[in-house]
Amino acid sequence: MNWTRVLVVAGTSLVAGTLALAGPAQADSSRPLAPMAPTTPATRAASGSTTPTPAPCPSGQTPTTLPATAPSTPPTPGTASATIRHSCALVPIQAPDRPPLAPEHVVGGTKLATAGVVTDLPAGVPLPPWSPAMSYVVADLATGEIIAAKNPHALARPASTLKTLTALVALPKLDPRQVVIATDDDVAADGSRVGLVAGNPYTVEDLFNGLFLVSGNDAAYAIARAYGGRAQLLSDMNTTAAHLGAWDTVAKDPSGLDVDGQFSSAYDLALIGRAGMQLESFRLHAAMVKSTFPGAKDSTGKVLPAFAVENNNPIIDKYRGVIGIKSGFTQAARNTFIGAVKRGDRSLIITSVGSVERQTDSIMALLDWGFAHADQARAVGWLVAPGTAPPPAEWTTVGPGATLSGSDATTAEPSTGSGTGPSPAEPTVLPATSADSQTDATALRWLNTTGGRVSGIAAALGAAGVLGGWLARRSRRRSRSGTYQR
């Protein structure tokens, strides 16, 4: 029996970390899920004892049993490695306008129409290690071949990983030198904040540093105003998602804070992350470890000094070869993650959604497995090229669009200094055709896929290959962060 599906321990059916049950799909750095009941010693299968009855799970979660530790190999029933503990697992979001799809309509291939772990491995190649995530995708960043996935199209809350779509759309349109004046609305953002001070000027580059490194929701809202307003940005985010083939994604808040009707999937986040890594400016922000955020004056005139900010990507300084990109967390979404790693001639992208445990170790274990066995693992699906995946036939109401949450700034904030404001247009993104190099001429050819409707985007696009090794690093100190999201 494939242990990644079901393991019987002490008479209990253990869904081994799938946490993504069959059926339509829910929903920074890593945070653990609080246990269902006060911590008690795990029950060993061989002991014959019983575990305490767990407390009920919150709405949107379901009871599950987990290994006492995150094993890299199947535990043997009746041994110490088979001890279990009770927890609450996220269940996929069930959206009324997203009925189940026929396998032939699933974006990326029929094998991705699964609620469990899917691989295609020759004899002798081990299964991927256990993961506490509700869903994940491991794929080759260059070719788009998916070598392992778990419930890849389950609808889930993306948390701050949605900021990658915000950046993918806004970075090519905004001059990094453009100055944006922070407002009270920006400063009042829920959750994690980089620390904008109302009435003070910040460059677009500063704002994207705050967005990527410390997941600043205040920075996300300031970027939206610079773009032309939250409504315009969200509209273009949803248009871009549709162009990518990310039909599981609906964006309603550029920060990724939880909003009813906002969701994505591990598959879609891989599409978005892969597209983002085509842009040089995106790669630089996503791989930056530290930076200095400018000081300001508060309402009393007191001068606040500049301070350092550090990237809260949980593996950026722990795993060799990390080149981006973004983590996320909310109480409803739990831990979410997109990562890109380059070792030698191979680059992998990994997404992890709805992790009920600290995800750092499990993500690194999946990456270890991917780099060790990518040459032998056969593709179970593909990250599709932009413009090639029509909306699923069963989803007759899907399409670009957004409903706003909170206040909406419909016009760009007047700015000073160099740079110009955006002109609303459909954004263009590039498919990854090489992990190492691609000429600007090739990039320009891809602009023609949308008729060149984005003015100035060509200048923002760097060579499409993923940068090898560590990218630009500048010294900075950690910012304050909120309690709702990072």
Residue 213's φ and ψ, nearest 5 degrees, are -75, -50
Say which residues have a Cβ less than 8 Å from residue 131's Cβ, sequence separation at least 6. 17, 70, 150, 352, 355, 362, 363, 365, 366
From 150, 163, 326, 342, active-site residue = 163
47 labelled catalytic: no
From 87, 192, 215, 255, active-site residue = 215
Name residue, tokens 């190492």: 436
Tokens of 150: 């778990």
Please give the single-letter amino acid code of residue 72: S
252 labelled catalytic: no
Distances (CA, A) of 85 to 12, 42, 62, 469: 11, 5, 14, 39
From the list 427, 458, 459, the residue with the least C-alpha distance to 237 is 427
d(CA 215, CA 169): 17
User: Could you tell me whether strands 334-343 and 322-330 are parallel, antiparallel, or unpaired per DSSP bridges?
Assistant: antiparallel
Helices (H), 148-216: 163-170, 184-187, 204-213
List of long-range contacts for 441-450, beta carbons under 8 Å, 24+ apart: 443/278, 446/386, 449/386, 449/387, 450/243, 450/387, 450/426
Say which residues have a Cβ less than 8 Å from residue 282's Cβ, sequence separation at least 6. 167, 168, 171, 276, 324, 325
The vertex-94 CA angle with 162 and 6, nearest 5°, equals 95
Q: If residue 136 lies in a helix (H) or strand (E), which one and from where to where?
A: strand 135-140
Asked whether the CA dihedral 164, 137, 331, 249 is positive or negative, the reply is positive
- At 280 the three-state DSSP class reads helix
Tokens of 328: 């996320």
From 160, 291, 347, 362, active-site residue = 160
Beta strands in 219-377 (DSSP E): 290-293, 296-297, 303-304, 307-310, 322-330, 334-343, 346-355
160 labelled catalytic: yes
Distances (CA, A) of 202 to 178, 179, 227: 8, 5, 14
Helices (H), 277-359: 280-287
The residues annotated as belonging to the active site are: 160, 163, 215
